[in-house]
Amino acid sequence: MRTAKDNRAFHFVNAAALLMIGASCILPLIHIFALSLSDRVALMSGIVSFWPVNIDFVSYKALINGTPILRDFRNSVVITTVGTALNMVFTVLAAYPLSKRYFIGRRFYSFAIIFTMLFSAGLIPNYLLVRSLGLVNTYGALWLPGLISVWNLMVLRSFFEGLPEELEEASRIDGCSEWRLIAQIVLPLSVPVLAALSLFYGVAHWNSFMSVLIYLNDARKVNLTVMVQQMIQNQSLMQEMTNQQPAEAANLSPEGLKAAGVIMMTLPMVIVYPFLQKYFVKGVMIGAVKG
């Protein structure tokens, strides 16, 4: 048996490891935030660490006034909200029947769905399919090919399988229809796992990059992730902003602009996560250990 000393040592090592992992995640973000708020002199001298030096909002002002970042931010919100809503609706509609033992062809459909997780057609066939459907340069190309995540579907199916069958039997005795059963009984009981899966889908849509580059040709439709990546790689953007805002050009620096763009791309997810965090671990574990 382990002694109390062994337990204390384990908890100490565990806490130290988790602290280091947490610091490795949060400290780079704090550093980027400090860079975005520091003035040009501090950035050029390289003295900024984890606290802003000579706080200046010129980088954020230049981004808002000199780039289409607000338009691209709106595009990201549309892509994320609509895409996540579609994902959740169709994931629920697929997971619920697969969780019922009396569903005819349940094993076949489950195998066919899992097969797509192990083997995929590849990038070129997917692009040809999207083009043949007329979805190129539309947001449908971002939403429809990944409408259902197989892993999320399996988690939600396992959760539905763990719900007591007595609830369904009692509701049917009371004359409850299938749709009313899902809307008034199943979904309210599934809030933790639905919130966790919504977070997964939302983060994936917010950070979508390759699919936007491949399927969207109109620069007015790209999301914030692509805009920030282009800003980081394209040095000509700094020159364009300097020409548009000559009064603020002396205070601008490429490092500050890049840091401000990264913060504006990251901040929404950082704000949303605390509201869903209480459901996160509970929802995933409930769906994972059942079935």
For 246-267, what is each residue's pLDDT tens digit? 555 556 777 777 788 888 888 8
pLDDT confidence bin for 85, thresholds 50/70/90: very high
- Helix axis angle for 254-289 and 58-66, nearest 10°, is 80
pLDDT confidence bin for 244, thresholds 50/70/90: low
Whether residues 171 and 272 share a domain: the answer is: yes
CATH number (domain holding residue 223): 1.10.3720.10
For 115-134, what is each residue's pLDDT tens digit? 888 887 778 888 888 888 88
Whether residues 1 and 126 share a domain: the answer is: no
Whether residues 30 and 108 share a domain: the answer is: no
Domain stops at, among 13, 35, 56: 56
Rounded to the nearest 5 percent, the helix, strand and coil shares of the chain are 75, 0, 25
Q: What is the mean pLDDT of residues 40-55?
A: 77
- Helix axis angle for 150-162 and 191-206, nearest 10°, is 170
Whether residues 83 and 25 share a domain: the answer is: no
CA 204 to chain centre: 4
Residues 6+ away with beta carbon under 8 Å from 90: 147, 148
- Helix axis angle for 4-37 and 254-289, nearest 10°, is 140
Q: What pLDDT sits at residue 12?
A: 83
> Looking at the predicted structure, is the pLDDT value of residue 143 above 80?
yes
Whether residues 135 and 77 share a domain: the answer is: yes
Q: What pLDDT sits at residue 289?
A: 45
Whether residues 23 and 84 share a domain: the answer is: no
**Structurally, how many domains does the chain consist of?**
2
Whether residues 36 and 106 share a domain: the answer is: no
Whether residues 194 and 260 share a domain: the answer is: yes
Quick one: what percent of the chain has pLDDT higher than 70?
A: 86
Question: Cα separations (Å) of 13 from 17, 19, 204?
Answer: 6, 10, 33
Domain stops at, among 39, 56, 73: 56
- 277: containing domain: 59-289
Q: End-to-end distance of the chain based on CA atoms, in angstroms?
A: 33
> Looking at the predicted structure, is the pLDDT value of residue 1 above 80?
no
Residue 268 neighbours by CB distance under 10 Å: 16
For 188-230, what is each residue's pLDDT tens digit? 888 888 888 888 898 889 988 888 888 888 888 888 888 888 7
Whether residues 10 and 100 share a domain: the answer is: no
Q: What pLDDT sits at residue 290?
A: 46
Whether residues 192 and 64 share a domain: the answer is: yes
Q: Which of 281, 80, 88, 101 is nearest to 182 (CA)?
A: 88
> Looking at the predicted structure, is the pLDDT value of residue 288 above 80?
no
Whether residues 235 and 266 share a domain: the answer is: yes
Quick one: what percent of the chain has pLDDT higher than 90?
A: 7
Whether residues 120 and 46 share a domain: the answer is: no
